[in-house]
Amino acid sequence: MGIGLWLSALTVKYRDLRFALPFLAQLWMYATPIVYPTSLVPEKWRWLLAVNPMAGIIEFNRYAFLGVGTVSKDILMIGIISGLLLLISGLLIFNKVQRTFVDTI
């Protein structure tokens, strides 16, 4: 929801951003470990993977449903914190830009 708020506020302000949204969505899909397990990512880059709020959720579901993978409290906590930061910043940005929506549309 935080990323949606960010992108909706930016799309109203910069209309050409709507052409880049499918590319950004695909980039986010490749950054989320859906097809590949987290264990394939080198140890020094796992913190960057953990910043993605969906990485911990998908890894937890992989472990719950398939019994493979690892559940790391660190990845889950970093994902929750980054998700909350995205949500709070998205709400702040959306509320700030919302005042100019009527003038822009």
Whole-prediction pTM: 0.77
Question: 2-13 vs 21-31: helix axis angle to the nearest 10?
Answer: 160
Listed residue (48, 54, 52, 47) closest to 74, CA to CA: 47
pLDDT at 28 over 80: yes
The pLDDT of residue 103: 61
Give the integer Cα–Cα distance in Å for 15 and 49. 30
Tens of pLDDT, residue by residue over 38-93, are 888 888 888 888 888 888 888 888 888 988 877 788 888 998 999 999 999 999 99
Q: Could you tell me the residue ranges of all domains in the chain?
A: 2-104
Angstrom CA distances, 33 to 27, 68, 82, 87, 103, stand at 12, 14, 16, 21, 40
